[in-house]
């Protein structure tokens, strides 16, 4: 791992990353997109990350500068080769009407 | 258990932990993820914790650094082997219409 001088290194921030079918999610600390990708491979047992996309709308996050604009606890979906982002399912349970 | 020097040890903070079907919930003080896991086993009579996940979306909390970013009273669900997180049911109680 890369060791940056104190003061130059961005701080570790929390993110949430799910696999493509959202069956597994992990909270992960990372200071950069590269750092996050490395830790995602470890945490989710993925060998080859094809893309890291925003959970909410599938926006691909490819660059460090865009990554640094994201707020803490931004939710990602990690895609492996051949996988595509799908919209998150929102279940609403409504009271039964008589 | 690990004994840290006073002043270096993080303070005890409150958390809420439910079992997988949310039939039992406990308020538990912990200063670390390891501490919380130990106390959860005691409080909920669980011998083998498979994962501690966020109640709201099932995000797995595996690392101390991510754990330390969580706010007081964060709600967890504890999973034993073979158990999976399910979305919390939100019941809306509406006034009965005549």
Produce one character per residue of A60-74: b if its CB has 16 or more CB atoms within 10 Å, e if not: ebeeeeebeeeeeeb
Chain B residues with CB under 8 Å of A11 CB are: none
- Please state, in angstroms and rounded to a whole number, the distance separating the CA atoms of residues A35 and A70: 15
For A18-43, how does the pLDDT look when each residue is reduced to its tens digit (9 = 90+)?
A: 999 999 999 999 999 999 999 999 99
Sorting pLDDT into bands at 50, 70 and 90, what band is B27?
Answer: very high
Report the pLDDT value the prediction gives residue A89, as an integer from 0 to 100.
79
Q: What are the domain boundaries of chain B? A: 1-98
Closest in A24, A25, A95 to B92, CB measured: A95
Measured in angstroms, the CA of A78 and the nearest CA of chain B are apart by 14
- Please state, in angstroms and rounded to a whole number, the distance separating the CA atoms of residues A22 and A20: 5
Closest in A25, A72, A95 to B60, CB measured: A25
For A45-63, how does the pLDDT look when each residue is reduced to its tens digit (9 = 90+)?
A: 999 999 999 999 999 999 9
- Please state, in angstroms and rounded to a whole number, the distance separating the CA atoms of residues B64 and B55: 18
Q: Please give the class, per CATH, of domain A1-98.
A: alpha beta
Closest in A12, A27, A94 to B59, CB measured: A27
Beta bridge partners of A18: A25, A77
CB B18 within 8 A of CB B76: yes
Give me the helices (H) in B44-97, please.
Answer: 64-67
Instruction: Identify the closest residue of chain A to B55 by CA–CA distance.
Output: A25
Mean pLDDT within A71-76:
97
Report the pLDDT value the prediction gives residue B90, as an integer from 0 to 100.
72
Report the pLDDT value the prediction gives residue A94, as an integer from 0 to 100.
64
Q: Which residue has the tokens 């995000």?
A: B59
Report the pLDDT value the prediction gives residue A92, as an integer from 0 to 100.
62
- Please state, in angstroms and rounded to a whole number, the distance separating the CA atoms of residues B62 and A20: 20
Q: Identify which of B37, B35, B32, B65 has the alpha carbon closest to the alpha carbon of residue B53.
A: B37
End-to-end alpha carbon distance in chain A: 61
CB A79 within 8 A of CB A53: yes
CB A31 within 8 A of CB A9: yes
């Amino acid at each position: 791992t890369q060791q940056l001088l104190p003061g130059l290194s961005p701080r570790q921030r929390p993110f949430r990353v799910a696999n493509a079918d959202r069956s597994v999610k992990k909270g992960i600390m990372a200071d950069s997109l590269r750092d996050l990708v490395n830790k995602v491979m470890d945490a989710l047992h993925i060998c080859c990350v094809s893309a890291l996309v925003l959970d909410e709308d599938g926006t691909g996050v490819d660059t460090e500068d865009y990554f640094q604009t994201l707020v803490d606890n931004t939710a990602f979906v990690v895609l492996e080769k051949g996988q595509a982002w799908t919209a998150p399912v929102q279940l609403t349970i409504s009271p039964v009407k008589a």
